[in-house]
Amino acid sequence: AQSVTQLGSHVSVSEGALVLLRCNYSSSVPPYLFWYVQYPNQGLQLLLKYTSAATLVKGINGFEAEFKKSETSFHLTKPSAHMSDAAEYFCAVKRPGGGNKLTFGTGTQLKVEL
Partner 1 sequence: GAVVSQHPSRVICKSGTSVKIECRSLDFQATTMFWYRQFPKQSLMLMATSNEGSKATYEQGVEKDKFLINHASLTLSTLTVTSAHPEDSSFYICSAGAGGLEETQYFGPGTRLLVL
Q: Which of residues 46-75 bind partner 1 (CB under 8 A)?
A: 46, 49, 51
Q: Is residue 82 part of the contact set for partner 1 (CB under 8 A)?
A: no
Mind spelling out the 3-state secondary structure of the chain?
CCEEECCCCEEEEECCCCEEECCEEECCCCCEEEEEEECCCCCEEEEEEECCCCCEEECHHHCEEEEECCCCEEEEEECCCCHHHCEEEEEEEECCCCCCCCEECCCEEEEEEC
Among the listed residues 2, 13, 32, 33, the single contact to partner 1 using CB under 8 A: 32
Of the listed pieces 21-29, 63-71, 76-84, 103-111, which binds partner 1 according to CB under 8 A? 103-111
Binding residues vs partner 1 (CB under 8 A): 32, 34, 36, 41-46, 49, 51, 90, 96-97, 99-107
